[in-house]
Amino acid sequence: MALTVVAPLLLFGVLTALLAVHGWGPFPVEAALHSWAVAHRPSWAVRTVDVVTDLGAGLPPYLAAVAAGFLVVRNGGRPERRTVRIAQVCAPVVVLAAGQLLRNGLMRAFGRPRPPMADWVAASPSGYSYPSGHAFTAAVAAGLLVWAVLRGTRRGPWAVVVVAVSGLAAVAVGLSRVYLGVHWPFDVVGGWLLAALWLGLTLPLIPLIDRSPSDGGPPAPPPPGAGAVH
């Protein structure tokens, strides 16, 4: 667990510090990649990328989180208490929603400007640029779903497909934000690192739900003399 938290925390902290020292402006490599994207946007590609980028906002990420919750219940042996089952289904949704609040707060605190509005296409983003909300949300949703699939004991070929599609979708959503001109590349990298950090902090907590004392525990000891023969 330490590595899954410390590594993304350090990388996110270093990236954020570098951007702050640089005045939150784009690094040369970011400007070059942005310019390339703006210069290579045929209409068919923009339409395709516009569909991809929508996977990182609105309903799709929450559908993935709900699916992860149901997998947690199924793979955990379906606890008898209904409240526990509901809590397990809702836990990934709470992780995603709370993460979005965290990301939004950091975005406002950092206040990195977006690329010029003249370079935007097929998107009308709001707020500041770093870290990317779409990249973060898609990565957290994908991470929740992949984690729920891999922790199950009854895996089949479908699990490989889910893991591969989830990972590719998260990467594609992040890259789509650069292609549409609404984010600098390091915004996307920051969104991915923050997602990794958030998942590292929260995923170990979800399995603890079915260990709640309210869900039962070891039977109480019998009263003194209960087993005596008179």
Question: pLDDT tens digit string along 118-147?
Answer: 999 988 898 999 999 999 999 999 999 999
Of 95, 99, 69, residue with least CA distance to 203: 95
**Statement: residue 75 has pLDDT above 90:** no
For 71-94, what is the mean pLDDT? 82
Query: 2-11+43-208 adopts what CATH topology?
Result: Vanadium-containing Chloroperoxidase; domain 1 (1.20.144)
Cα-based angle 189, 43, 56 (whole degrees, multiple of 5) = 35
Domain ranges of the chain: 2-11+43-208
pLDDT band for 214, please (50, 70, 90 cuts): very low
Which residue from 135, 201, 187, 138 is spatially nearest to 165, judged by alpha carbons? 138
Q: What is the mean pLDDT of the chain?
A: 89
* pLDDT greater than 70 at residue 183: yes
Interatomic CA distance for residues 15 and 17, integer angstroms: 5
The tokens describing 97, both together, are 């929603």
Please state, in angstroms and rounded to a whole number, the distance separating the CA atoms of residues 21 and 15.
10
The amino acid that residue 49 corresponds to is V
**Banded model confidence at residue 82, pLDDT cuts 50, 70, 90:** confident
